[in-house]
Amino acid sequence: MAACMSENGSDRKLEFFLKVPFPSEREATIALQSLSPDPEPRKGGITKHLDLSGQTLSVRWTADEARILRVSVSSFLDHLSLVMETMDAFGPPVSQ
């Protein structure tokens, strides 16, 4: 897992990037599908974009305030942990 935080130029927005490698592309796809339906509960102030490249799930947040960003990232990591524990409990996915 790799993460990076930066301040976005003149917009003064905070950005946070997270890359999560998975053992297979199928597992990365399952994680993406499990985590994508959760929109940010707050209207405005933060955006989250999920993307898949091979076996790596990438997430990018952009926020107006550090507090909002922290809450969103923390919630996402909790959900990601649950998805990974569930996949681990059921074993590797069957190829389709």
Looking at residue 46, which CATH number applies to its domain? 3.30.310.50
Domain that holds residue 84: 2-90
CA distances from 64 to 11, 14, 90 (A): 9, 6, 39
- Whether 68 is in a domain gets the answer yes
> How many distinct structural domains can be found in the chain?
1
Q: Is residue 96 part of a domain?
A: no
Per-residue burial over 52-70, b if 16 or more Cβ lie within 10 Å, else e, is beeeebbbebbbeeeebbe
Answer whether residue 79 is part of any domain.
yes
Separation in Å, CA 77 to CA 59, 70, 72:
11, 11, 9
Smallest Cα–Cα separation from 53: which of 83, 77, 28?
28
Whether 33 maps to a domain, the answer reads: yes
| Residue 66 lies inside a defined structural domain of this protein | yes
Tens digit of pLDDT at every position of the chain (96 positions) = 545 556 665 567 899 999 999 999 999 999 999 998 666 666 778 899 999 999 999 999 999 999 999 999 999 999 999 999 999 998 877 765
Residue 77 lies in a domain: yes
User: Would you say residue 26 lies in a domain?
Assistant: yes
